[in-house]
């Protein structure tokens, strides 16, 4: 999808996701799609806004840097849960 440089490895993608979920200041959202519930973490990696989405069982579904992240979140009805430190720690 061109989100990472062409020479990137799976390990680079995993590291990026880890950086997102380890930052206690990143924001957690609830995302409901039909009857399914997902949780999204929003944060910056190398000055770029990323979202990583997990199933309610904790399975990582996707991670990407949406264009216009605020519009993306609003249009899909993401509901603010809180910062990672408030939710998980």
Q: Which residue has the higher pLDDT, 88 or 23?
A: 23
Q: What is the pTM of this model?
A: 0.86
* Cα(57)–Cα(13) distance, integer angstroms: 21
Using the predicted structure, report yes or no on whether residue 67 has a pLDDT greater than 70.
yes
pLDDT score, position 15: 86
CA dihedral in degrees (13, 77, 84, 58; nearest 10)? -60
- 9-59 pLDDT, tens digit per residue, is 678 778 888 999 999 999 999 999 999 999 999 999 889 999 999 999 989
Q: Which residue has the higher pLDDT, 33 or 4?
A: 33
pLDDT score, position 79: 98
């Amino acid at each position: 999808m061109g989100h990472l440089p062409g020479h990137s490895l799976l390990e680079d993608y995993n590291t990026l996701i880890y950086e997102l979920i380890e930052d206690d200041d990143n924001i957690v959202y609830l995302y409901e799609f039909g009857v399914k519930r997902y949780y999204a973490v929003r944060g910056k990696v190398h000055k770029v806004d990323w979202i990583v989405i997990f199933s309610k069982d904790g399975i990582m579904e996707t991670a990407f840097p949406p264009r216009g992240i605020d519009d993306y979140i609003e249009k899909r009805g993401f509901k603010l849960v809180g910062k990672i430190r408030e939710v998980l720690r």
